[in-house]
């Protein structure tokens, strides 16, 4: 049984990381649509760097939840037949123990040098303009896919969706593309697990509502029974 799971901010909500849309559209006081863009970074790099520095710092204050752990149990059973594709830029899947996670929108804990192109694991702040460990130039940006930028590894994801027996979407509002289109690319059965029906709920063969910490463990138990 080959499964592709897509996760969004909703899977991290019960760990204490606010989602994009449940926080009334503002986030750390900013509208993600206004801050998560190359234009915003060009216009006011300090503001954008501080926005991401705050979110990177918040990671050390939260823990994975039962939904993240349930996906690890599923991976222990399925191995490489499970691919977790996440829109999230946090590290909760990895800290729960997931080994095969693909971040299509980048990661808070990666810094990308716009001068030499190298990427570096990064846990501290970037707003104070640290030098790139590779080229020494102070030109590191968050390694995040902003609106208008191309998500990472779309060909890998598209192939996995075309080959999978089941596509499960967890904790996403289904308004951001191309992730919101994955349900149409999926070959096999489709299931949505979300607090409330997403924008694309009717595109799924089945859609269940409830908190991820209840729905995901129950779904994994059902699958592994």
CB-based burial of residue 197 (10 Å sphere; 0-12 exposed, 13-18 middle, 19+ buried)?
A: middle
Contact yes or no for 75/101 (Cβ under 8 A)? no
Among residues 77 and 175, whose Cβ is nearest to ligand BV8?
175
Q: Does 151 bind ligand BV8 (CB under 6 A)?
A: yes
**Window of 5-13, 92-100, 112-120, 126-134 that interacts with ligand BV8 by CB under 6 A:** 5-13
Q: Does 132 bind ligand BV8 (CB under 6 A)?
A: no
**Angle, CA 25 vertex, CA 23 and CA 30 arms, to 5°:** 100
Q: Return d(Cα 179, Cα 198) in angstroms, integer.
A: 13
Q: Does 179 bind ligand BV8 (CB under 6 A)?
A: yes
Among residues 138 and 199, whose Cβ is nearest to ligand BV8?
199
Q: Is 169 among the annotated ligand-binding positions?
A: no
**Angle, CA 164 vertex, CA 160 and CA 169 arms, to 5°:** 85
Kindly list the residues in this chain that would bind ligand BV8 in the complex (CB under 6 A): 8-10, 13-14, 19-22, 32, 36, 87, 89, 105, 144-151, 154, 171-173, 175-179, 194-196, 198, 211-212
């Amino acid at each position: 049984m080959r499964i592709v799971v897509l996760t969004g901010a909703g899977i991290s909500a019960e760990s204490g990381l606010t989602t994009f849309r449940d926080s009334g559209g503002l986030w750390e006081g900013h509208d993600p649509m206004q801050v998560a863009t190359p234009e915003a970074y060009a216009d006011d790099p300090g503001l954008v760097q501080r926005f991401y520095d705050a979110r990177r710092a918040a990671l050390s204050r939260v823990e994975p939840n039962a939904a993240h752990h349930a996906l690890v149990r599923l991976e222990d059973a399925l191995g490489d037949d499970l691919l977790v594709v996440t829109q999230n830029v946090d590290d909760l899947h990895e800290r729960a123990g997931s080994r095969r996670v693909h971040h299509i929108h980048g990661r808070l804990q990666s810094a990308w040098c716009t001068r030499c192109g190298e990427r570096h694991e990064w846990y501290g702040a970037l707003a104070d303009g640290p030098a790139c460990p590779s080229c020494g130039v102070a030109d590191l940006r968050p390694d995040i896919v902003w609106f208008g930028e191309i998500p990472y590894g779309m060909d890998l994801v598209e192939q996995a969706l075309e080959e999978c027996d089941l596509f499960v979407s967890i904790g996403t509002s289904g308004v951001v593309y191309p992730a919101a289109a994955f349900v149409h690319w999926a070959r096999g059965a489709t299931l949505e697990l979300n607090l409330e029906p997403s924008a694309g709920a009717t595109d799924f063969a089945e859609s269940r509502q409830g908190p991820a910490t209840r729905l995901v463990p129950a779904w994994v138990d059902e699958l592994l029974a």
